[in-house]
Amino acid sequence: MRRMIMMFNLLVLALTSSVIAEQERDLWYAISIAGARSGWLHETRKEVPEGWQTEQESKIEIRRGAQSVSMQVTSRFVEGKDGKPIRAESIQKLAGAAITTTWNFLGNGVINEVSTQLGRTNERDIPPSDQDWLSPVAAEQFFLARVASGAKTIRWSTVLPDQGPEPVELTRTLVDETTFDRAGRPIPATRWKSSTSAMPGSVGEDLVASDGVLLRQVTSLPFGEMRVELTDEATAKMASENVPELLVSLFVQLEKPIKQARMSRTLEMLVRAKDGVLEDLPSAGAQRSERLGEGEILIKVNLDEPLPATDAERSDPRYRSPSALADAADETVSALTANALRGLESAPIRRQAERLRTAVSRHISNKGLSTGFASATETAKSKAGDCSEHAVLLVAMLRSAGIPARGATGLVYVEGYQGAPHAFGWHMWTQALVDGVWVDLDATLPRAYDAAHLLTATTPLDGATMDRDISGLLQLMGDLDITIREEGS
């Protein structure tokens, strides 16, 4: 659920980048989701000694049941007058403590990344991308030049501090000419169909003024529209009396309950897309995915036959390394791990992994929905969180113990939760690499895992590719039907 909130910000930050180049500005946008006021976006650009600094600050608020969740993200990008990137920074406040990530662009194309939270720092060098990309002002210059040349479809790539160092491709296709009403004053505009590789399948509509200023952006999502509209500061920050609820409303309701779901070891279910188009679902861990048609996939879950990891997965250093989110080297995380495994140092890896799962479940004593998306470091200290905090802390502790691990997102069967009689709700858990296979571990449950889970994506929780790994969540939410075919013991 937390990553869904993050993806809202990625939609906003990925497509509001076509204001006229080389011009200082101060713009405010109101954000709404499914017809309800949800937040604001503030974008500024100013000249600095090195060249230009582009800054975006956004705040989005939703409800999860009766609990409100707020997220704030700030990003800054400094580039030279020649368009060469110099440095970038993102500050993400998703829980009680912000995560600050700074990039310094080295001359050889390498990005030096430093992430900091609660006094802990992780540093790494990111190799150059094989794909060419443009800094914010350079991207705007390119877009405006293509418009002036009469281009009807314009594509360019850029890098966004909040999405990691992999370039994001943006596409706009001209639709027609129109006007935008701002406080009763019509502004001539062009209408563009827009999309981004960060959100495959999401199509937006952008209204752009003749000087390049984005006036309005509307993105269609399965559960409603996301609208970003130019306004003034007072209107943008106006409090909402109807914050959208995006937890229970996105549950996938079932026709009948799953008997003894928490004890199940096998389960077979048919997954359909309401719009008739369903992207591939993973075969990993206990889950096997079999496509039956364009909009239909058969899922078989068998806890006794976990799938082996690929050669690439077994050698992937991201599943072993500390990261800002899953900091396995943090002293508190390391101490929790050592205490949990005391006396089990020579035990089989599977037993160690399950002991760590139990330790996480016990350590997080304040279980609730009020946390944004806390890192393992913060969760280890606060002892608070829901499924994502359990999953991230367990990943960090597994890595601290030398066991490769990753996050898993998808759905879990719930009964009577937040008033839902029987349904699948969006969820996060952990996968550990044990004896060459991915073993599913859910630290929110009394037992290690059960078959009443539906895996939609996995992520190394490295901060660089996480959002890209699970961006398909937004396309699935509100678009699924699930039919239970066969229940096992």
Q: Are residues 64 and 101 in the same domain?
A: yes
Residue 434: enclosing H or E segment and its boundaries?
Answer: strand 423-434
Q: Does 224 map to a domain? A: yes
How many domains, the chain?
2
Higher pLDDT, 229 or 17: 229
Look at 137-151, 356-370, 385-399, 403-417 and tell me which has the smallest mean pLDDT: 356-370
238: DSSP letter: P
Q: Are residues 21 and 68 in the same domain?
A: yes
Q: Is the pLDDT of residue 190 over 80?
A: yes
Q: Does 241 map to a domain? A: no
The amino acid that residue 60 corresponds to is I
Q: Is the pLDDT of residue 16 over 70?
A: no
Q: Does 150 map to a domain? A: yes
Domain boundary among the residues 210, 236, 262 is at 236
Q: Is the pLDDT of residue 467 over 60?
A: no
Nearest by Cα to 303 from 440, 419, 177? 440
Q: Does 451 map to a domain? A: yes
**Percent above pLDDT 70 for the chain:** 88
**119/145 Cα distance (integer angstroms):** 45
Domain boundary among the residues 204, 236, 268 is at 236
Q: Does 138 map to a domain? A: yes
Q: Is the pLDDT of residue 229 over 70?
A: yes
Higher pLDDT, 75 or 475: 75
Q: Does 341 map to a domain? A: yes
Q: Are residues 253 and 173 in the same domain?
A: no
Higher pLDDT, 10 or 150: 150
- Mean of the per-residue pLDDT values of the chain: 87
Confidence of residue 332 (pLDDT cuts 50, 70, 90): very high
Q: Are residues 318 and 177 in the same domain?
A: no
Which CATH number do you get for residue 44?
A: 2.50.20
**38/91 Cα distance (integer angstroms):** 20
If you search the block for the tokens 């999309």, which residue do you land on? 195
Q: Are residues 169 and 299 in the same domain?
A: no
User: Three-state SS for 32?
Assistant: strand
Q: Is the pLDDT of residue 416 over 70?
A: yes
306: DSSP letter: P
* DSSP-derived secondary structure for 126-137: EPPPSS--B-HH
pLDDT at 99: 81
Two tokens at 485? 């075919």
**334/398 Cα distance (integer angstroms):** 10
pLDDT at 122: 82
- CA distances to 16, 63, 144, 197, 479 from 228, rounded to whole Å, are 9, 19, 21, 19, 23
Domain that holds residue 317: 248-487
**54/17 Cα distance (integer angstroms):** 10
Q: Are residues 194 and 307 in the same domain?
A: no
CB 178 within 8 A of CB 189: yes
**358/443 Cα distance (integer angstroms):** 7
CB 199 within 8 A of CB 471: yes
CA atoms within 13 A on the CB side of 232: 4
Two tokens at 275? 């719009």
Which CATH number do you get for residue 264?
A: 3.10.620.30
Q: Are residues 227 and 253 in the same domain?
A: no
Q: For residue 121, which phi and psi values (nearest 5 degrees)?
A: -125, 135
User: Three-state SS for 272?
Assistant: strand
Q: Are residues 179 and 281 in the same domain?
A: no
pLDDT at 482: 95
Higher pLDDT, 125 or 9: 125
Q: Does 191 map to a domain? A: yes
Q: Are residues 141 and 10 in the same domain?
A: yes
Domain boundary among the residues 236, 260, 294 is at 236
- Average pLDDT for 13-24: 54
Digit-coded pLDDT (tens) for 306-320: 999 999 999 999 999
- Helices (H), ranges, 209-326: 233-236, 311-315
For the chain, the distance separating the N- and C-terminal CA atoms, rounded to the nearest angstrom, is 29
Q: Are residues 185 and 231 in the same domain?
A: yes
Q: Are residues 215 and 252 in the same domain?
A: no
pLDDT at 300: 97
Q: Are residues 346 and 455 in the same domain?
A: yes
Higher pLDDT, 221 or 376: 376
CB 82 within 8 A of CB 76: no
Total residue length of the chain: 489
Global pTM reads 0.79
- CA distances to 1, 249, 318 from 64, rounded to whole Å, are 9, 9, 31
pLDDT at 463: 62
pLDDT at 19: 44
Q: Does 243 map to a domain? A: no
Q: Is the pLDDT of residue 2 over 70?
A: no
Confidence of residue 94 (pLDDT cuts 50, 70, 90): low
